[in-house]
Amino acid sequence: MTIKVDKDVPVPTSVRAGRPSRYPWSEMGVGDSFFIPVSEGESIDRLRNAVSSAKVNYSKGMVERNGSEYLATVRTVTEGGVKGVRAWRVK
């Protein structure tokens, strides 16, 4: 079997398939934040890691799609006696 080499075939633009983000990253401007309370029986570390991982994935996608830098930070907080995670967009 012979495989033919093609020349000058453009690479199609990348289309990122997958489910929509569970978190409102695309709606956030610099200085905006959101709070997620930890559910009963859920580990606060696991929640923080999940939000941080989603943040990294969204940030990478922004750079890949349009070269935009998107920076956010995630912290464990207690608000009104409720433990949870707050994420802020910083850039």
pLDDT digits 0-9 by tens, 16-61: 566 678 999 989 999 999 999 999 999 999 999 999 999 998 888 7
C-alpha atoms less than 13 angstroms from C-alpha of 91 in its C-beta half-sphere: 7
Local confidence band at 3 (pLDDT 50, 70, 90 cut-offs): confident
Give the pTM.
0.75
Instruction: Give the model confidence (pLDDT) of 66-83 as tens digits.
Output: 777 888 999 999 999 999
In this structure, are residues 8 and 67 in contact, taking their beta carbons and an 8 Å threshold?
no
Q: Which residue has the tokens 């997620």?
A: 36
Q: Which residue has the tokens 């079997």?
A: 1
